[in-house]
A and B are shown apart, each in its own frame.
Chain A
């Protein structure tokens, strides 16, 4: 038996199944969803497990409704989640923006499949990185996390709920068809071993409660419906009391605050993994399932004398700029392999500003980039 077998319960799970376990461990009690490939297993397992723990699963009439329902449930005090894939994620964008502006904690999973449109429903893709950032209209803050393994599906889902609750914001988890359907043995930790964060709730007399008042954290305490702090929730830009406003002196502080609450806590939200990156001459920047191909390619490259390293992004948005920048000044070249036409590489290039050479591998045929493809390029570079 190896070292990872020392704690918890060992099980063989698909990534999609592990996400349910992670959500339950984080205290999720409400899930609303609509069937869509390749995310459906999340709904199916939720429908079995949530009622058993006293929670609620509901299959809504579409993804718009699913997103609305999880916001409503969160406002009434539940930790809530939905899961979908490309087309459904498109439908969720309007209400996702509502959750940003009304500062409603919730978790949205997108198990990415090939697009655009109906695209390649059963194939892997990473085409929704920019949609996750900019899908809903208007300038808005958002947290987006990318998972690459079954273990991630558990751990990062817990983390997603914690971030959502801590910062009163929707958190998007980008999974993909490979991660969602790969079965891996993982250890499900015992409940006490996991950190679970709950939203800060008001404790002042209700008449003193100013629901959207700024504080040093930028995150106001959140009253939940029924607990005595009656207030107004709206998607309109609102003043500190939650009432619609068109006054510039109220609009600007509000919008600044909801951005600041994310930017101010950048390093708390930031998650990356580095593999052989410290002394690397060529840095591979990868995320999701492709990060696994990249990890193998980097290890094999080292065996062949190529000083390659991997920076795996777990937090995609806010983009880990502060981690990437020192590498850009240090390495000879950067390689960004991804299952799209160049979405993260575009951000890397934007930050790079010509400091170093940035190359890409873009695969859009519905198949995972192999370690060999990356290795061959690393050797050439």
Chain B
């Protein structure tokens, strides 16, 4: 069986989790040319409930469309971090938004304050998801940064391209700083 890479993005409704999943899938599938499957939590809650999006990436046709054991877990709030950490692969990568996740279950967690960065540097909390995507791609190399940028710009509302490009850069920079141990 071919290579199979699983990403789970999680947080609360309104944090842009599903949009982040769609952008990631589009970057990997349409722009990087891989096979992708993107699924998401689906329920009656519109805002504030638990939100989850999964992206499975492969070099061959994907059978089971959902994540079995995620290689990467992004947790944008405490509740989702607690709920999904147990599903992560033993060698998997946990990335948390330290703005909201105060208790990390493992010392290996990568904690970056995505929402804080969005607020402070971009003056728009709603782009925290794009900041997180930039960091995620830099940390895991799951998609190329060029593809990610193309996918972001194709999906975001017209007139917000600059804001989102900056958000992506902020995420990339935050990840680079983390990797340099700063």
Chain A residues with CB under 8 Å of chain B are 1-2, 4-5, 10-12, 38, 121-122, 149, 177-178, 181-185, 289, 292-293, 295-296, 299-300, 303, 368, 370-372
Contact = CB atoms under 8 A, between A and B. Distances in A.
Contacts, number: 77
A107 to B, nearest CB: 24
B35 interface: yes
Given A10-B30, A38-B42, A371-B68, A299 B63 contact: yes
B63 A289 contact: no
A102 B42 CA distance: 39
B59 A2 contact: yes
A185 B29 contact: yes
B64 A292 contact: yes
Q: Tell me the interface secondary structure of chain B in the complex.
A: loop
B25 A183 contact: yes
A184 B1 contact: no
A371 B64 contact: yes
Nearest to A1: B33
Given A12-B22, A12-B29, A122-B43, A184 B38 contact: yes
A292 B25 contact: no
A293 B33 CA distance: 24
A255 B44 CA distance: 45
B14 to A, nearest CB: 18
B139 interface: no
Nearest to A293: B64
Interface string B26-48: 10011001111111101110000
Interface in B106-161: none
B160 to A, nearest CB: 20
B118 to A, nearest CB: 25
A183 B34 CA distance: 13
A178 B38 contact: no
A9 to B, nearest CB: 10
Nearest to A184: B37
B66 interface: yes
Given A10-B29, A11-B30, A122-B44, A184 B36 contact: yes
Interface residues of B, number: 24
A202 to B, nearest CB: 44
Kindly list the 5 A-B residue pairs having the minimum CB-CB distance in the complex, ordered from nearest.
Answer: A185-B29, A183-B38, A296-B63, A1-B33, A295-B63
Given A181-B40, A292-B63, A2 B33 contact: yes
Given A1-B33, A183-B37, A289-B65, 4 more contacts: A12-B26, A178-B66, A185-B36, A296-B63
B35 to A, nearest CB: 7
Contacts of B40: 181
Contacts of A184: 29, 35-38, 62, 65
A81 B56 CA distance: 32
Contacts of A368: 66
Interface centre among A177, A184, A185, by most chain B C-beta atoms within 10 angstroms, is: A185
Interface in B4-40: 22, 25-26, 29-30, 33-40
A371 B65 CA distance: 10
B65 A182 contact: yes
A177 B66 CA distance: 13
A5 B33 CA distance: 7
Contacts of B66: 178, 368
Contacts of B26: 12, 185
Nearest to B1: A299
A204 B144 CA distance: 62
A51 B39 CA distance: 29
Contacts of B39: 178, 181-183
Contacts of A10: 29-30, 33
A368 B68 CA distance: 12
A175 B80 CA distance: 30
B42 A181 contact: yes
6 contacts: A2-B34, A4-B35, A12-B36, A184-B65, A289-B65, A292-B64
Contact of B25 (A12, A181, A289): A12
